[in-house]
Structure 1
Amino acid sequence: MSQEQDMPMPMSPGSMSNNGTRNMKDMVMHMSFYWGKDATILFHGWPNHCLPMYILSLFFVFLLSLATEVLSVSPATTKLGTSPVAGGVTQAGVYAVRIALAYMVMLSVMSFNLGIFMAAVAGHTVGFFLIKCREAAAQEEAATGFTPKV
């Protein structure tokens, strides 16, 4: 492995301060996983090297991942009084939101921060678990005729 692969790379070559030097604290793009609160997630300056904001961003990525999984299950649109067009538009809208959230999670993980990566994986896992629990409860209700106490 060459030394160049482990070194942080400046993100924008044209950004220099007044004296011609770069501010490497703000202009680093990691090419491998790293630990730490000094990450840029989705927006420039966020979480801004601040531990409480970094923790908030972990929670935000967790919720984005969880919402992506929960929205991956489309409810049946053949309810009484719903036209096929309205059902299709509703499903397309939910799909658009789910894809937008999935891309936001992907871009967050591309920060190569291990905390963000683990928050995304945990969110997807918890979302998947919630969906499977709901499916199992619905199957048990259909089989026995009563709602299980959860």
Structure 2
Amino acid sequence: GPMGPMGPMPPMGPMGPPPAADMPGMGTMPVMHAAFFWGHRAQVLFRDWPGDRAGAGMYVLCLLIVLTLAALVEALSAASRGVSSCRPAAVLALTGLHAVKMGLAYLVMLAVMSFNVGVLLAAVAGHAIGFLLARSAVFRQTTPGDAPQNGALIPSESSSLVRHNSSRVIRNANL
């Protein structure tokens, strides 16, 4: 036979894995999609869930769960934003919050990888709703006396800046 680095090699058998029927415990494999598809017959996150035996009701529940997970990702992101502390307990709590947020974000990503268009739309809608609700809650909590965030100008600064710029524009127009 052919020679290898350790001496003669045994004869090669047929290439490729054995057929699924020969493997113990292997049933029929679920259809995995590699392109987007419509329909309630999907497999999202778990084997045979929502599946096709339960009809559209379980699929709608699946979409609501994906939407809620995506909204929670945005809510947790907003909750941890702007919070800083040097206290070890607070740092550990924020780290745990971040870990939960990332775990939920990965679950949403894996759900979208089912390639079901409804799941994709539910994830995007959940992120949008979560962002909207988190931002509106943030805006409700701020008062005019709060410190400006992200380089925002205090109202007195912004109005003097507008007056300064408009007088410069008027001067330049007269030249």
Aligned to 1:106: 109
CA contact (8 A) 1:40 1:48 kept: yes
Q: Measure the CA separation in 2 of the matches of 1:102 and 1:27.
A: 25
Q: Aligned equivalents of 2:20 and 2:126: distance in 1?
A: 35
Q: Is the 8 A contact 1:30 1:112 kept in 2?
A: yes
Shift of 1:136: 1.7
Distance of 2:87 and 2:145 partners within structure 1: 31
Aligned to 1:86: 89
Measured after TM superposition, the shift of residue 138 of structure 1 is 2.0
- SS for the counterpart of 2:65 is helix
Structure 2: give runs of 5+ residues left out of the alignment. Answer: 1-17, 147-175
Residue in structure 2 matched with residue 121 of structure 1 by the alignment:
124
Provide the identity percentage. Answer: 39
Q: How does 1:10-29 map to 2 (within 5 A)?
A: 15-16=20-21, 23=28, 27-29=30-32
Structure 1 moving runs of 4+ over 6 Å: none
Selected match of 1:65 from 70, 80, 85 = 70
Query: Does the 8 A contact of 1:77 with 1:84 survive in 2?
Result: no
CA distance 1:16–1:41, change in 2 (3 Å)? farther
Of 46, 51, 55, which aligns to 2:49? 46
- Based on CA coordinates, which of the two structures has the bigger radius of gyration? 2
Question: What root-mean-square deviation, in Å, do the aligned CA atoms of Structure 1 and Structure 2 show?
Answer: 2.5
**How far did residue 77 of structure 1 move?**
5.4
Cα drift, residue 15 of structure 1: 4.1
Query: Are 1:143 and 2:144 counterparts?
Result: yes
Deviations 1:66-91 (A, max 9, x none): 0000000216355xxxx710000100
Aligned-residue offset at 1:57: 0.3
SS in 1 for 2:34: coil
Indicate how the Cα distance of structure 1 residues 95 and 117 shifts in structure 2: closer, same or farther if over 3 A, else same: same
Query: What do residues 1-55 of structure 1 show as CA deviations (whole Å, max 9, x unaligned)?
Result: xxxxxxxxxxxx96449xxxx85xx621111111001110000010021211111
Aligned length: 122
- TM-score normalised by structure 2 residue count: 0.63
Supply the distance in 2 between the matched residues of 1:14 and 1:84 (Cα, whole angstroms).
Answer: 59
